Amino acid sequence: MTDRVVQLVDTRKRNSVPSMLMPAALAASSASSPSLLKDQRGRALHDLRISVTDRCNFRCVYCMPKHVFGSDYPYLKQPELLSFEEVRRIAGQFVALGVEKIRLTGGEPLLRRHLENLIELLADLRTPAGKALDLTLTTNGSLLRKKAVALKQAGLKRLTVSLDAIDDAVFRRMNDVDFSVGDVLDGIQAAHEAGFDDIKVNMVVKKGWNDDQIIPMARHFHDTPHTVRFIEYMDVGASNGWKMEEVLPSRDVIERIADGVAPLRTLEPNYPGEVAQRWQYEDNGHEVGVISSVTQAFCSTCTRARLSTEGQLYTCLFASRGHDLRTLLRGNGPGMKGPASDEQLRAAIANIWLPRGDRYSEIRTAETQARERIEMSYIGG
C-alpha cells in the first residue's frame, strides 16, 4: 500500500439543478415517448443504477482504500439520503421515459435498513408497455445469508455478487477487513436456496494482487449454475491510485482460462449493448464472461444513468458533476413553490439525457484522468 496523499475533492456539493421546462423533443409528443429520449450519440435511456448508501463494511483496495475511507470520512447524513418513497417516485419517472432495468448498488446496498421495502415499491413499477422491470442488485455478499429470503419475497429478480478471490488469504487482502471467502460462498448458497437461479459472480482483476486467482475462480464455478465475470480494474474516483500497469486485459484472462480450465467458444450477446462479453466452456456448455471496461470501451452503447444516494443524477461513471434531482423532488430550491410535478421531473431528466455526449472510456488519456471524478462507492458500480 502506498503512503500517497490523496486529495479528495468533494464534487458532491457543486451539482446543478436541471431545468424543468419540457424540452421540445418531448413536448412534441402528447405523452412521454421513450423512443424520443436519445442522447447526442443516439443512445436511449434504458438502465438506471440507484445507489442506496455510500457506506460499506468492506475496504476493497481498488474501491474504498482504508487510508482514504477512515473513521473520519464524511459519509452522507440520514436527512441527505433519498427516502424510499422519493426513490420510488423518481424511478417511476425514469420508467415512464423508457428505463426497463434498475440495479440497486452502493456502497454496500444491504447495509441500508429495510432495503426489501424499497424493492417491494420498485417491483410494482411497470413500463409504458405494461412489463415488470428487470430488477437486480449488486452486493459483496456479506449479508446475503441474513437477507436473501426477504429480497426474493420482495420481488428482486436477479443478483450479482462480487468476489475477488477464492483463496481466503488473497480475498482478505482484497477486502482489507478480514472477511472470509467462506462467508461469501455461504451467502451465494443462501441466495440460491432462496430461489435466485441467475446469480452472477463478479471478480475485479488487479494485476499483481489477485490475477493468480483467475484460474482457481473459474475452476471453482465451472460446474456450478453461477456465471463468473472478470472485470478490468478501472480508474474510477480519485482514491484508488489506479495505474494502467495494474490492468490485466480481458483477452489475457480468456487465454488463461482456455489454457488452464477448459477450451472456450464465444457466445452471442443476450441483447444489443450487453456490457459483458460471453464465452462458453466447450466441455460442459457453462458460461463465463469478461467486462473489458478499459481495453475495449463500450461507450457507444452505454444506456445507463446513475442516481446517487442523495438524489444526484450522473450520466457517466467518470463524471465530475451530477444533476441535483433531490432539490426538485423536495421543492426546496431558490424560487421553488413546492415539489416538482411528475411532468416537471420527467422534463428535468430529459433535459439531462438529451444533451449527453459522454464517452470517457473511449477517450481516456493522461489529461482525462487528471479530471475530478466521483467515487465508485458514492455512485455505485
Overall residue count recorded for the chain in this entry: 381
Question: Least distance (Å) from ligand SF4 to the CB of residue 139?
Answer: 8
- What, of ligand SAM, ligand SF4, none, does residue 312 touch, CB below 5 to 8 Å by kind? none
105-113, 124-132, 220-228, 355-363 -> range binding ligand SAM (CB under 6 A): 105-113
Q: Under a CB-based contact definition with an 8 Å cutoff, are residues 270 and 289 in contact?
A: no
In order of 32, 179, 311, 327, 333, the CA distances from 15 in angstroms are: 26, 36, 11, 11, 13
309 is in the binding site of which of ligand SF4, ligand SAM, none (Cβ under 5 to 8 A by kind)? Answer: none
| Stretch binding ligand SAM (CB under 6 A), from 34-42, 55-63, 146-154, 250-258 | 55-63
Check residue 322 for interaction with ligand SF4 (CB under 6 A).
no
Residue of this chain nearest to ligand SAM (CB atom): 381
Q: Which residues contact 245 (CB under 8 A, 6 or more apart)?
A: 207
Q: Which is nearer to ligand SF4, 40 or 224 (CB)?
A: 40
Rounded Cα gap, residues 254 and 289, in angstroms: 9
Q: What are phi and psi of 177, to 5 degrees?
A: -130, 15
- Pairwise CA distance, residues 53 & 78, whole Å: 10
Binding residue (CB under 6 A) for ligand SAM from 52, 87, 204, 302: 204
Among 106, 187, 237, 289, binds ligand SF4 (CB under 6 A): 106
Taking residue 203's Cβ as centre, other Cβ atoms within 10 Å add up to 23
The CB density around residue 61, as the number of other CB atoms within 10 Å, is 21
Alpha carbon 232 to its chain centroid, in Å, reads 14
Asked whether position 379 contacts ligand SF4 by CB under 6 A, the answer is no
**Which string of x and - marks every residue 222-251 that binds ligand SAM (by CB under 6 A)?**
---------x-xx-x---x-----------
Following CA atoms 111, 131, 19, 334 in sequence, which dihedral angle do they give, to the nearest 10 degrees?
-50
Q: Which is nearer to ligand SAM, 28 or 244 (CB)?
A: 244
Instruction: Please tell me whether residue 361 binds ligand SF4 under the rule CB under 6 A.
Output: yes
Q: Which residues pair with 205 in a beta bridge?
A: 232
Q: How far is the CB of 171 from ligand SAM (least distance, A)?
A: 12
* Residue 239 interaction partner, one of ligand SF4, ligand SAM, none, beta carbon < 5-8 Å per kind: none
Phi-psi region of 125 (alpha: psi -120 to 50; beta: other; left: phi over 0): beta
Place of cell 500500500: 1
Query: Where along the sequence are the contacts to ligand SAM (CB under 6 A)?
Result: 56, 62-63, 105-106, 108, 138-140, 162, 202, 204, 231, 233-234, 236, 240, 376-377, 380-381
Query: Where along the sequence are the contacts to ligand SF4 (CB under 6 A)?
Result: 56, 58-60, 63-64, 106-108, 140, 162, 297-299, 302, 316-318, 358-361, 377
